[in-house]
Amino acid sequence: ANDHLVFFAPSGKRERFAEGTSVLEAARKLGVDLDSVCGGRGICGRCQVVPVEGANPKLGIESAADHLSPWNAVEERYTSKRGALAEGRRLGCQAKVCGDLVIDVPPDSQVHRQVVRKRAEAHPIAVDPVVTLHYVEVREPDMHDPASDFRRLAEALEAQWGVRDATCGLAVLKTLQKVLRKGGWTVTAALRGAEVVAVFPGFHERALGLAVDIGSTTIAAHLCDLVTGDVLASSGLMNPQIRFGEDLMSRVSYVMMNPGGEVEMTAAVRGALQDLAEAVAREAGFSADQILEATVVGNPIMHHLFFGIDPVELGGAPFALAVDGGLDVPAADVGLALAPGAKVYGLPLIAGHVGADTAGVVLSEGPYLKDEITLLVDVGTNAEIVLGNKDRLLACSSPTGPAFEGAQISSGQRAAPGAIERIRIDAETLEPRFRVIGSDLWSDEPGFAEATAGTGITGICGSGIIEAVAEMLLAGLVTPDGIVDGALAERTPRVVGEGRTFAYVIREADDKGPRIAVTQGDIRAIQLAKAALYAGIRLLMDRYGIASVDRITLAGAFGSHIDVRYAMILGLIPDCDLAKVGSAGNAAGTGARIALLNKASRAEIEGVVRRIEKIETAIEPSFQAHFVDAMAIPHKSDPFPHLEA
């Protein structure tokens, strides 16, 4: 008689509750996802709900706002301290049931909210981090009770949150007494399982985490709100290890030649990461000591150096990793000054050349969840390749060299303002038009000179050289064998002899910049790189036993800049419906963010990585044959029907 039917939307859970039960209690009973950090004290405002008005004949409920107890003093206090609740909202921990009700739990009051991602094919991230906040009121010490401050905190966590056997490391203990007294015996404990990783005086509502992608060239960090999943600030830095060597292998050689060199490099990368942590925290209005958890991805050498493991074994066959599973270590052990008990989680490594960055890409793209067969390609100095679907995943790396990054190209440079990134060649006149990074205009449009006055025209970047070679092929300037056709020197002064070969001149030197040409050597470098990439891909396709793939996703900076049509014209990637070829942007960094925001994703990616079949291209007899066939543009024999369409 004195109980009322309560129906929760959107979960659809319902039950009868005694008059006077709070909405938060009812939700907890039913397992409805309703957040709370303060434990129902009317402080945090996370438990907001909306009573739905009106009769619902299907449920047999007449629901109304006054079927909840009237606004109480705690809600008044909340409003005066923290601002008014939005129209129609109540604090679920204060509003008590006094009639039949339909209660709507808005998305921002759910613990497991979903972060929807921008790309249509990317699955949403469920926010459920390893570290969560718990506000508690702790008993004051007195002369009759010898229990320590931590003992009383642990008791409070058990009594108020059901957390049994809380533990705490020395670094947190050192802060505990001050914090308890500063908070007037109320604190917010950040818990990782039952371990207290930080304590804040009074009510504290920010849980911060850091997701880091350690690339050999740049290090990028995102500061995330562990409650909402939002990225609060992002920043990047050049990897300071560059002073020990431009590419990965030269850094490993540095270690081999200079005993103790790995210690210097470890210190360099950790120092940069600490700087980044402080920069992003400051940008968002916090300090680095409030960061409760960090996750890290990187290729095997970057990973080992960051964790302080000598990478020397990765410098030569058989490329043995020291460890391949996920790593979970105190931040202080890897030289980071974050919250006192903060931990750093490193995603698992796949193989000697296929790192935690690729594991991040796999976690972000989720090919292991799908029926369709996805090809993931991350191109740097090495291409890291993953192929498969929910039944089977294979991975390998292929030695593409740095040509796709603009290195080893006569006019090549990194993608930076002033670099040619787009180019078109008129098949009739053989005249080029191009665009440089930093300007929206093509070289034959009015205003181009002014638009590039600041940057000049300095060279050609990786995506530019790919377009240049592909356009040269389409215009007949290059044969499918990759030879610059010297006979065309009769038709255009842009084809010029250089020794026994020919080059195509995009521009002559002038006051805006140097001469930029595509030489025979440049085309060879691109052919070698693309043949290595394609051969690695074909090797995996052979192993899987398929002749085509359903989707191709290019990860990393290279994948974001390149025009996928040109990648296919050159035969970097196999034939595929162009609508299903796309860029995932910094998917490795997104993988780090997922591992930060969702604790279950860690075991998930560790399990997936263990199941991945690792193929070593260097010892595969068929790799060489695939490589030779892939030297032709686009390929000696493989068809590209989607290019004809």
Q: Which residues bind ligand FES (CB under 6 A)?
A: 24, 36, 38, 40, 42-47, 91-93
Which pair of tokens denotes residue 560?
């974001």
- Supply 118's token pair: 């921008």
The nearer residue to ligand FES, 34 or 587, going by C-beta atoms, is 34
Q: How far is the CB of 323 from ligand FES (least distance, A)?
A: 41
Q: CB of 135: closest distance to ligand FES in angstroms?
A: 8
Identity of the residue, 135 or 150, whose beta carbon is nearer to ligand FES in the bound complex: 135
Q: How far is the CB of 124 from ligand FES (least distance, A)?
A: 25
Q: Min. distance of Cβ 138 from ligand FES in angstroms? A: 17
Is the peptide bond preceding residue 318 cis, with omega within 30 degrees of 0? yes
Q: Provide, rounded to whole angstroms, the least separation between the CB of residue 597 and ligand FES.
A: 21
Give whichever of 137 and 616 is closer to ligand FES, judged by the CB atom: 137
If the CB atoms of residues 43 and 472 are measured against ligand FES, the closer one turns out to be: 43
Nearer to ligand FES, 201 or 456 (CB): 201
Nearest CA among 420, 409, 417 for reference residue 518: 409
3-state SS string over 555-576? EHHHHHHCCHHHHHHHCCCCCC
How far apart CA 227 and CA 225 sit, in angstroms, is 5
Question: Locate tokens 């991040």: which residue?
Answer: 360
Q: What is the dihedral of CA 124, 130, 133, 134, to 10 degrees?
A: 120
- Shortest Cβ distance from residue 201 to ligand FES (Å)? 17
Instruction: Of 363, 366, 372, 319, give the one whose Cα is nearest residue 345.
Output: 363
231 DSSP β-pair partners: 224
What is the H or E stretch that residue 125 is in? strand 125-126
Rounded Cα distance between 94 and 462, Å, is 60
Least distance from ligand FES to the Cβ atom of residue 205, Å: 10
Considering beta carbons, is residue 200 or 448 the nearer one to ligand FES? 200
Q: Which is nearer to ligand FES, 132 or 299 (CB)?
A: 132
Distance CA 366, CA 633 (A): 31
61: its two tokens: 């409920």
Task: Please identify, using beta-carbon distances, which residue of 78 and 434 lies nearer to ligand FES.
Answer: 78
CA 101 to chain centre: 42
- The structure tokens 């914090």 sit at 179
Minimum distance of ligand FES from residue 37's CB (angstroms): 6
User: Would you say 92 or 459 has its CB closer to ligand FES?
Assistant: 92
Question: In the numeric block, which tokens belong to residue 353?
Answer: 């050349």
Token pair of 516, please? 């930029």
Got the DSSP string for 376-438? Answer: EEEESSSEEEEEE-SS-EEEEEE---GGGGTTTSTTB--S-TTEEEEEEE-TTT--EEEEETT
> Residue 209 Cβ, how far from ligand FES at the closest point, in Å?
21
Work out how close the CB of 286 gets to ligand FES at its nearest, in angstroms, rounded to a whole number: 22
* Residue 133 or 280 having the CB closest to ligand FES: 133
**b/e per residue, 313-341, with b = 16+ CB within 10 A?**
bbeeeeeebeebebbeebbbebebebbbb
Token readout for 602 is 């860690």
CB nearer ligand FES, residue 34 or residue 102: 34
Residue number with the smallest Cβ distance to ligand FES = 93
419 near 413, Cβ under 8 Å? Answer: yes
What's the min distance (Å) between Cβ of 76 and ligand FES? 13
